[in-house]
Amino acid sequence: MNVGDTLAPLEIPITRTLIVAGAIASRDYQDVHHDAHLAREKGAPDIFMNILTTNGLVGRYITDRLGPRAVLRKVAIRLGAPNHPGDTLTLTGTVTAADGDTLEIRVVGANGIGHHVTGTVTVALPAPPPAGGIPGGAP
């Protein structure tokens, strides 16, 4: 990939299950991520996604687009508009730097109310093994 290349977008439906499962998986038990009534009491219109789930989705986007050999070296994100159930998160990416096997990709994730996430991902793309398998190993 070269500077200026773009990655195909990824659309992710934001469901209650995704929000709650992400919060549980990351051990984030704050009520605003699973209890709509308490989220509303705190001023939100509904439950909303936590940053750790968003971070995972950004990582998934990069590895889905660049393949299983892609190694995430750094993920630096900033949250903006919250992800609520019933919306769709659309992730896009643009290569902003390339140095050997390392790329820097600017990622933006937008939903119906604005930019949910912006950030930069540094990813290494190691060379594939030589044809015929690993030397001295099974083909």
- pLDDT above 80 for 25: yes
Taking alpha carbons only, the member of 63, 43, 69 closest to residue 125 is 69
CB atoms within 10 A of CB 4: 9
- Region 55-59 average pLDDT: 97
Q: Is 29 helix (H, G, I), strand (E, B) or coil?
A: coil
- Region 55-77 average pLDDT: 96
Instruction: Supply 65's token pair.
Output: 């687009």
Kindly report the pTM of this predicted structure: 0.88
pLDDT > 70 fraction of the chain, expressed in percent and rounded: 94
